[in-house]
Amino acid sequence: MKRLTRALLAILLAAALVGAGGYVWFQSWLEAPGPARQDTVVLIPRGSSVSGIAQRLVDAGVVDHARLLQLAVWQGGLAAALKAGEYQFGPGDSPRAVLERIAAGRVLVRRLTIPEGQTSAEIRRLVEAAEAMTGAWPAEAIPEGSLLPETYHYVYGDSRPELVARMRKARDELLAELWGKRASGLPLADQGQAVILASIVEAETPLAAERPRVAGVYLNRLKRGMRLQADPTVAYGITRGEKELDRPLSRDDLARASPWNTYTSDGLPPTPINHPGRASLAAALQPESHDFLFFVADGKGGHLFAQTYEQHLRNVAAYRASQRR
């Protein structure tokens, strides 16, 4: 009897040791680096089962054992916590880190950058090409200047109409804020005219520091009843913003009547010619105060400014000379 008791005790002890060893090994597996050697994106659809999620992670090379991962989910009581979505896992993420990310719903956040000065047609192409989004570009026309160029964040399944609505709301909120802080005495009747001016400034110079000065030139011309003579408005009248004009403007272009041709029409054009960014909107409403009426490219990315036409002609001659050199 004593021998039997000792044998049973030995068996139980061995089982306990095996169980303890297995538990230690399992915990070690949970904390050990996973097999992924690079960033890996995995989509977990809505309604996925625990086994389905585990298999997707194995197929993607994020973890190396589906059954062990399922065991970890049940042991941790995470079955109801796992969330659908698109996840990005880093190289060597452990099985525990993988499960914690999914349970916390830390989905992959994507970025879409809308450059300043894009037209509606150009923004449409960017939004339609954005990965992991749903829905089509809105059916209604998107007026030039109604969206704010920025970097927007979105997640898998966000819709394109919702993103466009966010762009429009961001523009409206920024414009209202800047309009409330506008300089006094501006020859702008409303916010719409401010956006039109900002779009011209946006098209004229890529230098943020130069935009308040360029805005000041056009505002000075408006106050004096001078035509704006802005080349980008002429180009927009030709292309309607569908594409960039792939040639220099000709004398015929400058003489051709168009609502957007500020060489032949007085005042501002009827609509913006692009979607201006934050800096250009601010420049239109807080312009630099000066007496400049003309400017021309300096050949280095900026512009030369002049108060008189005679000074302007000298600047033009200097620019042409630099181009020849």
CA-to-CA distance for 263 and 232, rounded, in angstroms?
11
Query: For residue 16, how far is the Cα from the chain centroid?
Result: 58
The pLDDT assigned to 319 comes to: 87
Which segments of the chain have a pLDDT < 70?
A: 1-20
User: Alpha carbon of 7 to those of 3, 12, 13: distances in Å?
Assistant: 6, 9, 10
* CA neighbor of 145 nearest in space, from 270, 274, 233: 274
d(CA 88, CA 131): 15
Contact assessment for residue 155 and residue 110, using Cβ atoms and an 8 Å cutoff: yes
pLDDT at 323: 77
From the number of C-beta atoms within 10 Å of its C-beta (0-12, 13-18, 19+), residue 137 rates as: middle
Which residue matches tokens 């011209």?
200
pLDDT at 320: 87
Residue 299 pLDDT: 84
Measured distance CA(317)–CA(179) in Å, rounded: 38
**Contact between 26 and 68 (Cβ < 8 Å):** yes
Q: Are 105 and 123 in contact (CB under 8 A)?
A: no
How much is the pLDDT for 233? Answer: 97
Residue 106: which region, alpha, beta or left (left: phi > 0; alpha: psi -120 to 50)?
A: beta
- The pLDDT, as a whole number, for residue 324 is 77
Maximum Cα–Cα distance across the chain: 121
Q: How deeply is 134 buried, as exposed, middle or buried, from its count of CB atoms within 10 A (0-12, 13-18, 19+)?
A: exposed
Q: Which two tokens stand for residue 193?
A: 């005219």
Picking from 251, 206, 20, 216, the residue whose alpha carbon sits closest to that of residue 115 is: 206
| Cα separation, 155 vs 111, whole angstroms | 9
What does the pLDDT read at residue 158? 97
Residue 2 is predicted with a pLDDT of 55
